[in-house]
Structure 1
Amino acid sequence: MTITHTRRGFLGLVGAAALTAGCGTSGKGGGKTTKLRYQGSAGSVTLPELAADLGYLGPVTLQWVGNTTSGPQDIQSAATGQTEFGGAFNGAVAKLRAAGSPITAVISYYGVDKDSYNGYYTLADSSIASAPDLFGKKVGMNTLGAHLEAVLDIYLNRNGVTGDAVKKVEPLVISPINAEQTLRAHQIDVATLGGILRDKALAAGGIKPLFTDYDLLGSFSAGTYVFRNDFIAKNPDTVQAFTTGVAKAIEWTRSTPRDQVIERFTKIIKDRGRNEDIATLRYFKSFGIAGTGGVIADKEFTTWIDWLEQQGQIPAGKITAASVYTNKFNPFAKGGS
């Protein structure tokens, strides 16, 4: 099993993508369209895919171009015109915007609550019990420069590990589907596990949590879908239909019995015929989104902008939350339903 991308090396890619996007590259999305290219996630159903299946997207159609496990990569694809929209952790969105990429977040699509959270797990017999115990240890996560690395840094800072001492902890990129196996094989010391993969690993036993992002930060929406600003300007009706449809899909998952939501996910995956494993769908609980209909709150960006400034990843005062997102396309922001 190959483990790649060491400490914060991934963050530079965000800036590189911003330079490309800033040069005006807009891919095939330069004119008016109702067709949206996007990247999915193997073995799971995204909110836009659910919205499309429920008939909530109106004239908008989705064109799947492949899968990704990396939020920063997904929004880079949108920024450089390879896709029309992408979703990532809000800190990654803010960093890409601060680097000059003309993108805007329009709706939240995942978050953290008591049912949907990410834990940092060690083996049950591990001696790791506190932040300083992580010195010299490897922490596996899906990508660097995103949600999981930011939460790790906040945990370290809040527990007295600051400055250069943070560099003594080594985050590494591993595939989420392999995280549990990699931990049990002693190739890493801590594995980040969330949602379905977390519940499955806990059911197997032999692991214990060091901390979770829910324990650390409470309930919050953590990631948003973004579009390029030129695409929004040329296709406001398409962005409106997309945002409205996804917002309605969010509320559908909240008002529909869990077994029916899982049944719908199962049907969608089977119908698209990509030879995907559906065994883990039974663990779905929620998308963890805090705001009604995915409405974005200021604090869901200011928390990470502050973190990026403290880490020296963006200049202080370079951007504000208001410059990164808009709720104008979301009917729930105006009291709609």
Structure 2
Amino acid sequence: MSSSRRAVLRTLTAAASALALAAVTGCGGGAEASSDQARKLRYQGSVGQVTLPELAADLGYPGDVELDWIGNVTGGPADIQATATGQSDFGGAFNGAIVKLAAANAPITAVVSYYGSDAQTFQGYYVLDDSPVRGPRDLIGRKVGMNTLGAHAEAVLKTWLARGGLTPAEIRQVELVALPPVSTEQSLRQKQIDVAVLGGVIRDKAVASGGIRTIFTDYELLGAFSGGTYVFRDDFIRKNPDTVRAFVAGVAKAIEWARNQPRETVVGRMESIIAKRGRNEDTSLVRYWKSSGVAGTGGVISDQEFGTWIDWLAAEGELKGDKPKPGDIYTNQFNPFATGGGAG
């Protein structure tokens, strides 16, 4: 097992262990919630970007459910670990990372998709124009920079390498380097890494600057799909079902609002949100926003969006015992679009 994979598994195992010792904290809010349910939700954001819950809150969709920003995070595994251990009330990550944490017996449940890949929004694997890297075998012995290990970028890369004919031993010779998203492009241009994994607005800004080219994208490899979901702790859901329902409905409506508005309208709203929150951030990233990439209407989750990664993790030997079932990890019960609603 590679050192990067051992580090990821240690992180997820530690999260599950810490959960058993964590004090149950009831923070959060509910638009339609009874007075004894939480009304503020602690969460982590992203520098220079607007998350779907932040957009939903600005649009007023969750009603009186408020968000309580506790800081920023650069990777999904760290975000859901904070949720599992009670440091935040919800977090979001790549579905494969959620499978790992759930398999480690962390009582968390995914409730709504929040990002994905489509023809407009995707994660690409980029090299400099003069790079000799063209195909999977060219990556042997080279460095690939990505925002976090053990998540979306690593899973997609290894799927591509395996489909390209590389053996497990050869795949282990591809060195994975964790880098903050805002630093990955610079590291590529300075030749500190050979391949940069870039997504969303960060990718579009890098491409617009020129001098780089794509070797493949997750959309080309897998087609349109939702890649990550927001999770809550099970104890929080039991105590605050109306709060969770208001949150999910708000995020779901924000997905559809952004899907159906002119791009300029969405970008303008995001710029306004960044300006109002006063964190001394650069708004240039959101100007490249194109879509959330979420596949399902209102972020409704499908079995396949977890099943794909359950099968991959099992094949990688990272799931012990019986494979979990997708339906044990997520629920659509709080999403009004799951039953054809959502317009109200």
When normalised by structure 2's length, the TM-score is 0.94
Aligned: 1:209 with 2:221: no
**Cα distance in 2, alignment partners of residues 100 and 25 from structure 1:** 17
Local SS of the residue matching 1:168: coil
Correspondence for 1:17 among 1, 15, 18: 15
**Cα distance in 2, alignment partners of residues 187 and 28 from structure 1:** 44
Deviation at 1:7, TM superposition (A): 2.6
Deviation at 1:23, TM superposition (A): 4.1
Q: Aligned residue for 1:182? A: 187
Q: Is the 8 A contact 1:309 1:316 kept in 2?
A: no
Q: Is the 8 A contact 2:310 2:323 kept in 1?
A: no
Q: Aligned residue for 1:7? A: 4
Q: How does 1:34-113 map to 2 (within 5 A)?
A: 34-113=39-118
Correspondence for 1:293 among 287, 298, 313: 298
Correspondence for 2:250 among 245, 253, 260: 245
Q: How does 1:149-298 map to 2 (within 5 A)?
A: 149-298=154-303
Deviation at 1:91, TM superposition (A): 0.3
**Cα distance in 1, alignment partners of residues 236 and 282 from structure 2:** 34
Deviation at 1:19, TM superposition (A): 1.5
**Cα distance in 1, alignment partners of residues 138 and 108 from structure 2:** 39
**Cα distance in 1, alignment partners of residues 52 and 306 from structure 2:** 21
Deviations 1:60-111 (A, max 9, x none): 1110000001100000000000000000000001110000100000000000
Local SS of the residue matching 1:10: helix
Q: Aligned residue for 1:141? A: 146
When normalised by structure 1's length, the TM-score is 0.96
**Cα distance in 1, alignment partners of residues 244 and 316 from structure 2:** 33
Q: Is the 8 A contact 2:225 2:294 kept in 1?
A: yes
**Cα distance in 2, alignment partners of residues 26 and 168 from structure 1:** 42
Deviation at 1:18, TM superposition (A): 1.0
**Cα distance in 1, alignment partners of residues 120 and 134 from structure 2:** 23
The code of the aligned residue for 2:4 comes to R
**Cα distance in 1, alignment partners of residues 284 and 302 from structure 2:** 34
**Percent sequence identity over aligned pairs:** 58
Q: Is the 8 A contact 1:41 1:68 kept in 2?
A: yes
Deviation at 1:16, TM superposition (A): 1.1
Paired residues, number:
333
**Cα distance in 1, alignment partners of residues 163 and 230 from structure 2:** 29
Local SS of the residue matching 1:285: coil
Deviation at 1:25, TM superposition (A): 3.8
**Cα distance in 2, alignment partners of residues 316 and 89 from structure 1:** 22
Local SS of the residue matching 2:281: coil
Q: Is the 8 A contact 1:90 1:223 kept in 2?
A: yes
Deviations 1:212-267 (A, max 9, x none): 10010000000000000000000000000000011011110011111011110011
**Cα distance in 2, alignment partners of residues 137 and 6 from structure 1:** 16
Deviations 1:134-192 (A, max 9, x none): 11100000000000000011001101113222110011101111111101111000000
The code of the aligned residue for 1:292 comes to T
Local SS of the residue matching 2:165: coil
**Cα distance in 1, alignment partners of residues 189 and 313 from structure 2:** 32
**Cα distance in 2, alignment partners of residues 291 and 118 from structure 1:** 18
